[in-house]
Structure 1
Amino acid sequence: MLRAAERCIQRHGIRKTTMDDIAREAGISRPSVYRYFADREDLLLALLDERSRALTERARKFIDQFPTVEEGLVEGLVYIAEHGHRDEFTRYLASMDDSDFGRRVADTDAFATLTAEFWDPFLDAAEKRGELRSSLSRHDIHVWLGSVGLMLMSILDREEIPNPKAMRELVRQFVVPAFVSPDYAPEETKAPRATSKTSKSRR
């Protein structure tokens, strides 16, 4: 049924796709579809969940190679935006061009949940290293990162950013500062601690 829904969305878009369309495409009766999904929005949420989790699995492996919260946020958000933009179904589902579906996503906090699954391992590690602001609400982080990812996909659709380098600079300037602890400094920039030999030479 989800594959049938994808084909219908590809042809008609989210707004015009109906449960009748999906049932016909899947070769089953309309009541059969309702045995699995309460309504059209419930089916679309399942499709959104499936596509997002597939992207998350790939993106996690990519983001793990960046050792700081700054680089991880920049590269992770750009990765999500670029790959989500290239995936036609993610683009359709993330566009929120259907008011009922948009309200359902908001009511179920779906984007925050999916964002949490992707970012939390990275955020947990950054928190342990002392890179993350301690005053931040994790739920608020999920909502904001999810919104930024959608915004970047939308900007790519409108071709408002000339190249990936420009997108990285936007994220670095306007997103990263909200997350990095003001007390954090990378190990290589911290002042070296005085050794016993140095201390004796100063006496």
Structure 2
Amino acid sequence: MTTPAGRRWGGEGAATDDEQARHKLLDAGERCIAQRGDTQIRMVEVADEAAVARSTLYRYYATRDDLLLALVLRRIDRAAARWVAGLRRPRDAAASIRELVLHPVTAVDGDPVNLALYSGDRGTLISVLDEGTDAITAVLAGHVGPLFTQWKRDGQLHPDLDLRETMQWISATTSFLLSSQWRHRAPSAHRRFVDRYLLRALLV
């Protein structure tokens, strides 16, 4: 890939926009994850896949965990935007929260990157998610915040609920349902869990 000036992107002096460069590197990271089937990628693999020097990759992502977190945040941001926009009854807090928890569970199968992220060995991903809890919460809150405010105004949620804490509970519930013990259970079991242990705590 070349810049308008004919230079290879990522090379010294190449005029590639930083945001564009980050996306190209994350795209390469996703391809590597899909090819390997897990998150045990090496930075050199990603650099080779992106056709850049390792120094270019390290300029944007100092460690593999930094790269993985940025990749996960981008996927969450894009997915949350789709899911919020596609809510069937956005004014109904119970129905919407249930969808927001269960959508990620059903989105794993059929997506090679998601399958790799949630493969049997999730140790690397779990540590990355733990480190990125605040960032993940901020992304989710940005998409769900307006609805959350409306639900509280309508009296559907407990008035003392905090948006960020609620997003953490939603995210934690999804992560639990994606665990090896729960991921392959029937959708009806997932729904019962959400209704019994999450919605009861949030809804008035």
CA contact (8 A) 1:84 1:90 kept: yes
The correspondence of residues 94-173 of structure 1 with structure 2, limited to 5 A, is 97-99=122-124, 102-108=126-132, 109-154=134-179, 158-161=183-186, 164-173=187-196
2:78 to 29, 40, 54: 54
Give runs of ≥4 in structure 1 deviating > 6 Å.
none
Cα distance, 1:87 vs. partner? Answer: 3.0
Letter in 2 for 1:36: Y
Q: Secondary structure at 2:30's aligned position in 1?
A: helix
CA contact (8 A) 1:85 1:153 kept: no
Q: How big is the shift at 1:133?
A: 0.6
Give runs of aligned pairs for residues 2-151 of structure 1, distance below 5 A: 2-63=26-87, 65-93=89-117, 97-99=122-124, 102-108=126-132, 109-151=134-176
In structure 2, C-alpha distance between the alignment counterparts of 1:122 and 1:64, rounded to whole Å: 13
- Of structures 1 and 2, the larger Rg is shown by 1
Relative to its length, the structure with more helix (as a share) is 1
Normalised by the length of structure 1, the TM-score is 0.75
Unaligned runs of 5+ residues in structure 2 are 1-24
TM-score by length of structure 2 reads: 0.75
Residue by residue, what CA displacement relative to the aligned partner does 1:161-195 show, whole Å, maximum 9, x if unpaired?
Answer: 2xx333223212221110012xxxxxxxxxxxxxx
- The farther-off stretch of 4-13 and 105-114 is 105-114
Q: C-alpha separation between the residues in 1 aligned to 2:63 and 2:139?
A: 21
Residues 36-76 of structure 1 deviation map (CA, whole Å, 9 limit, x = unaligned)? 22221111112112111111121011226343211111222
- Give the Cα separation in 2 of the matches to 1:153 and 1:62: 22
Q: Percent identity?
A: 25
Instruction: Give the aligned CA root-mean-square deviation in angstroms.
Output: 2.5
Contact 2:176 2:182 in 1 (8 A): no
CA shift at 1:91, angstroms?
4.4
Unaligned segments of structure 1, at least 5 residues: 182-203
